[in-house]
Amino acid sequence: MVRLGVVALLLATGVSGCSSAGGEAGGEQTDGEYGVLVEACDLVDTATVAVLARGLAKTVSRQGQRSGRQLSDRVDMTTCHLQFGGSDSLPIAPFDEFAPDTPGTPARRHVVVTAMRHHAVDGQSGTELARHWLTSDPQERVPDITALGLDDGDITQQPNGEESYTRIRAVDANLTLEIEYSGANIGAKPAGMPSDEGREGALRLLTDAAARRPCPISDC
């Protein structure tokens, strides 16, 4: 479970209003829905990413930022990928039942931020389709997400081989946000980073995204 002090700090840094950053307009939307394209990389705070990557050895490669974009009649999607370290630096570390919480040394951190703007299709509004996207794969709900000015959201955490993986999803009208934060440690047993660290990091990334999201329309 996340430490309450950390959560309070993360939520305190969030801004429930929209930023003035804009994007490409297009698609049919109702009042309050996003009519601008939301660039995922604009939602990432480099200071937060630097904190998440802290502890990686200077000799470990740090890969740059990559972005992607896919536009259609149903949804506009942008992605932002950031990776620090590499899987080639991870040894196969057997699980040790007598030392399950060994911290290890950070070896890899991977961040993916995805922003999707849903369009009205087949008589359903973009907001209805965004809500369906969230509820079609039910996970643990995170009430703290609404404190960031977002409508709703959930979280899932799981080990992935030698890594630990956290995913947070959130809905804001017809905009859906997905934060994926994974990582691995050298010498940890198992080798994934602690679940609290993954949860707190993903919440921090979502806090930044909520504060940096653009105004729904281009002239606000």
Which range has the top average pLDDT, 10-24, 63-77, 115-129, 176-190? 115-129
Which of 187, 159, 202 is closest to 7 using CA atoms?
202
What rounded mean pLDDT belongs to the chain?
81
Distance between CA 43 and CA 211 in Å, rounded? 8
**For residues 195-203, average pLDDT:** 92
| Per-residue pLDDT at 9 exceeds 60 | no
Amino acid at 23: G
CA dist 57 → 126, 176, 184, 201 (Å): 44, 34, 13, 19
Domain ranges of the chain: 4-212
Distance between CA 64 and CA 81 in Å, rounded? 8
Least confident span in 39-43, 87-91, 113-117, 165-169? 87-91
| Per-residue pLDDT at 120 exceeds 90 | yes
**For residues 189-216, average pLDDT:** 91
Does the reported pTM lie above 0.85?
no
Share of the chain above pLDDT 70, in %: 78
| Per-residue pLDDT at 214 exceeds 50 | yes
Owner of token pair 């999607």 = 77
Distance between CA 123 and CA 179 in Å, rounded? 29
Could you tell me if 76 and 37 are in contact, meaning their C-beta atoms sit under 8 angstroms apart? yes
Question: Measured on CA atoms in the order 110, 116, 122, 123, is the torsion positive or negative?
Answer: positive
Least confident span in 27-36, 180-189, 204-213? 27-36
Q: What is the pLDDT of residue 29?
A: 59
pLDDT in tens, 79-103: 999 988 876 666 667 778 888 778 8
**For residues 16-34, average pLDDT:** 57
| Per-residue pLDDT at 4 exceeds 70 | no
State the DSSP H helix or E strand holding residue 80, giving kind and residue range, or none if neither.
Answer: strand 75-85
